[in-house]
Amino acid sequence: MTSYNAPFEIHVHGQVPLRPDVDFQQLQDALKPMWKYAGARSLTDAAGSTYEEEPGIKFDAQEHLLQMCWTVPGDDDFRQILDEVCMNLNEIANAGAAIEVTFYDAEFDGEEGPSSGESRDDFVMLFVGPNPAAIMQVQRDLLVQDVVNMMERHFDGSELGGVVAEIDKLFSNRFDELVSSLEIGKPPRGSGGGHGGGHGGGRKPRHLH
């Protein structure tokens, strides 16, 4: 159970498209590390954020969507549960998604000056998805958006096609290397006994030609 004297206020923000067959119980199981960290007995108990103006953790059953805008007091050990949560969300996600996690130093007040040293604020971007292609697609789209936004200060958007193509080439190469490494680990065809290769996928992400 976390303490309200914890050194960080941790904000989790993102939207994850879920498979149509996913129900609340499956989502509750997937997010169990988070709500247990908050000291709650269920997702419903932990869904509210530390700040009332934030919507917290919401399950939109009609849109098959997990929405998170949720703050909890905590420490660096919260990072450890993020890996487990991401693995769990990979199992129920319908498409790739980005999750932003911000650690705000609760003991540092910038307005009063750095009397107690530098702020320990930190920011982590996580990616989840049903397979590597879906995850890389989100990574690619965010990178293209960031690069184009930065370069449009100096160039017209119509001039940046070559830059986007080079980014696509980098991700395509990375995807090919991933598929190759997965192929090496597969048993020979016809050997039997192996279970399905869940995360390999044989299809490249969109735009990665």
pLDDT digits 0-9 by tens, 125-180: 999 999 988 998 998 888 888 888 888 889 888 888 888 888 888 878 877 777 77
pLDDT digits 0-9 by tens, 3-52: 557 799 999 999 999 999 999 999 999 999 999 999 999 999 999 999 99
| pLDDT at res. 195 | 37
Per-residue H/E/C for the chain: CCCCCCCEEEEEEEEEEECCCCCHHHHHHHCHHHHHHCCCCCHHHHCCCCCCCCCEEEEECCCCEEEEEEEEEECCCHHHHHHHHHHHHHHHECCCEEEEEEEEECCCCHHHCCCCCCCCCEEEEEEECCCHHHHHHHHHHHHHHHHHHHHCCCCCHHHCHHHHHHHHHHHHHHHHHHHHHHHHCCCCCCCCCCCCCCCCCCCCCCCCC
Record the pTM. Answer: 0.75
| pLDDT at res. 198 | 40
Is the pLDDT higher at 2 or at 118?
Answer: 118
